[in-house]
């Protein structure tokens, strides 16, 4: 088939990305019923909001956090309020690999169907001291090692969670590969990974360098995995809340944001519930902020606007068209590289292996006999 150089080649079907979201449709909480959901950092903030909403919807929810007393009390209170007996708190330090391993294993054991339908990588931390931009005593004989606690929680912790999720989600009993054509009514078991990033993953927050770097990295993790998790039958989505009133919004940060608009935690919970409850949503991301007027372009894509349209929303899609347009160049490069490999065939492979062996021999000679670094092998 002849290729038209001017044509855009989409890989949306290949990675099974679902169509743009219709945010005007209501969320059906009944679709979370009987699903087993894990939430890291679930004892406060967004995690607590998610927990309360999905517990009320009849899900089995397991939250992991380092604040044991608060987590235990939250579970007891919500169980009493909702009558849901499948609510659990487990101690989990996301920066500790074994702690997360134990968290996942315990969750599988207490799950009614011995599987996990959804993992929410929610645990997050903000830099309240600003130490990264204020280095001290680095001219001493033994400068102190900088503490990157924010990176440990927001990035390393999220990557631990992701690594474990990609192992356990495909093993969810009776689950099938995620697909945009899934029927929410009949999809009892799911394989869903939800990232909670931030507005800081899109643009910088002055004075929050480490936090911004961690959330940018989380966005990169999501955008990369979105192209490959279909191989595991796992669907992946992401939320990027803007400035929302939560415990992370410290007094100094609120002073900085004074006079600006703050979003509502309920809108973040609503957006997350849309993702968790709808198994046909695959590879989408939402920015959640203060309610603003919205307008639609000729393609039906919504965006925030300063025009008074009479309709207000707190959510808009981001990174929605990466694999429709901007990433197609990567596909063409990969196709070209594959064609080179095909042309070279086994002969080219054999020649490349010989070159690699010769290079390795030369490296060994140079390593053990530095004076013979020009020795020809």
Asked if 215 is an active-site residue, the reply is yes
| Count of Cβ atoms closer than 10 Å to residue 284 Cβ | 24
User: Residue 7: pLDDT band by 50, 70, 90 thresholds?
Assistant: very low
Query: Alpha-carbon distance 284 to 279, whole Å?
Result: 12
Asked if 160 is an active-site residue, the reply is no
Query: Alpha-carbon distance 93 to 139, whole Å?
Result: 34
pLDDT computed for residue 322 by the predictor: 73
Query: Alpha-carbon distance 319 to 227, whole Å?
Result: 13
What are the pLDDT digits (tens) for 42-59? 999 999 999 999 999 999
pLDDT computed for residue 207 by the predictor: 83
Q: pLDDT at residue 262 above 90?
A: no
Residues whose CB falls within 8 Å of the CB of residue 52, separated by 6 or more in sequence, listed in order: 78
The fraction of the chain above a pLDDT of 90, given in percent, is 55
The answer to whether 168 and 160 have CB atoms below 8 angstroms apart is no
pLDDT computed for residue 169 by the predictor: 98
Domain boundaries of the chain, sorted by first residue: 12-321, 331-372
> Which listed residue (160, 215, 344, 376) is catalytic?
215
Listed range (10-14, 124-128, 177-181, 367-371) with the worst mean pLDDT: 367-371
According to CATH, the topology of domain 12-321 is: Rossmann fold (3.40.50)
> Which listed residue (73, 211, 344, 360) is catalytic?
211
Q: What is the mean pLDDT of the chain?
A: 83
The answer to whether 39 and 100 have CB atoms below 8 angstroms apart is no
How many angstroms separate the first and last alpha carbons of the chain? 47
User: Residue 24: pLDDT band by 50, 70, 90 thresholds?
Assistant: confident
User: HSE on the CB side for 120, CA within 13 Å?
Assistant: 31
Burial of 96 per CB tally in 10 Å (0-12, 13-18, 19+) = middle
What are the pLDDT digits (tens) for 178-213? 999 999 888 999 999 999 999 999 988 888 899 999
Picking from 244, 243, 195, the residue whose alpha carbon sits closest to that of residue 215 is 195
Q: What share of the chain is helix, strand, coil (3-state, %, to 5)?
A: 45, 15, 40
Q: 222 or 13: whose pLDDT is higher?
A: 222
Picking from 277, 204, 185, the residue whose alpha carbon sits closest to that of residue 237 is 277
Picking from 95, 127, 123, the residue whose alpha carbon sits closest to that of residue 212 is 127
Strand, helix or coil for residue 223:
helix
H-state helical runs in 264-324: 265-277
Strand, helix or coil for residue 64:
strand
Distance of CA 188 to CAs 52, 122, 232, 274, 295, Å? 21, 23, 18, 16, 35
Collect contacts of 218-222 with beta carbons under 8 A, ≥24 apart.
218/154, 218/155, 218/158, 219/319, 221/158, 221/159, 221/162, 221/195, 222/195, 222/197, 222/285, 222/319
Q: Which two tokens stand for residue 199?
A: 């507005």
Q: 216 or 325: whose pLDDT is higher?
A: 216
pLDDT computed for residue 111 by the predictor: 98
Strand, helix or coil for residue 314:
strand
pLDDT computed for residue 377 by the predictor: 32
Distance of CA 77 to CAs 27, 39, 63, 68, 255, Å? 25, 17, 14, 14, 33
């Amino acid at each position: 088939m002849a290729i038209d150089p001017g044509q855009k080649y989409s890989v949306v079907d290949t990675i099974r990305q679902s169509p743009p979201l219709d945010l005007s449709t209501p969320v059906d909480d009944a679709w979370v019923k009987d699903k087993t959901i894990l939430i890291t950092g679930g004892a406060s903030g967004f995690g607590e909001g998610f927990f309360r909403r999905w517990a009320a919807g009849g899900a089995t929810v397991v939250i992991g956090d380092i604040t044991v007393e608060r987590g235990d009390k939250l579970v007891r209170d919500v169980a009493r309020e909702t009558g849901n007996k499948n609510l659990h708190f487990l101690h989990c330090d996301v920066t500790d690999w074994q702690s997360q391993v134990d968290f996942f294993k315990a969750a599988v054991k207490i799950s009614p169907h011995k599987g996990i339908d959804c993992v929410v990588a929610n645990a997050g931390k903000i830099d309240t001291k600003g130490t990264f931009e204020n280095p001290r005593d680095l001219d001493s004989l033994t400068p102190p090692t900088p503490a990157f606690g924010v990176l440990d929680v927001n990035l390393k912790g999220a990557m631990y969670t992701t690594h474990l999720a990609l192992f356990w989600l495909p093993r969810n009993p009776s689950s099938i590969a995620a697909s945009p054509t899934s029927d929410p009514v009949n999809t009892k078991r799911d394989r869903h990974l939800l990232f909670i990033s931030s507005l800081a993953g899109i643009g910088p927050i002055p004075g929050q360098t480490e936090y911004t770097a961690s959330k940018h990295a989380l966005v990169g993790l999501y955008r990369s995995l979105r192209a490959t998790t279909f191989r595991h039958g796992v669907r992946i989505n992401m939320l990027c809340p803007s400035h929302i009133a939560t415990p992370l919004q410290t007094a100094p940060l609120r002073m900085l944001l004074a006079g600006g608009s703050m979003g509502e935690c309920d809108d973040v919970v609503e957006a997350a519930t849309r993702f968790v409850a709808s198994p046909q949503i695959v590879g989408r991301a939402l920015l959640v902020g203060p309610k603003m007027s919205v307008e639609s372009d000729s393609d039906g894509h919504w965006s925030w606007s300063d025009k008074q349209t009479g309709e207000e929303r707190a959510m808009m899609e981001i990174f929605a068209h990466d694999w429709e347009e901007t990433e197609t160049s990567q596909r063409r490069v990969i196709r070209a590289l594959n064609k080179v490999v095909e042309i070279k065939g086994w002969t080219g492979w054999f020649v490349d292996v010989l070159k690699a062996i010769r290079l390795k021999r030369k490296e060994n000679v140079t390593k053990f006999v530095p004076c013979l670094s020009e020795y020809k092998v």
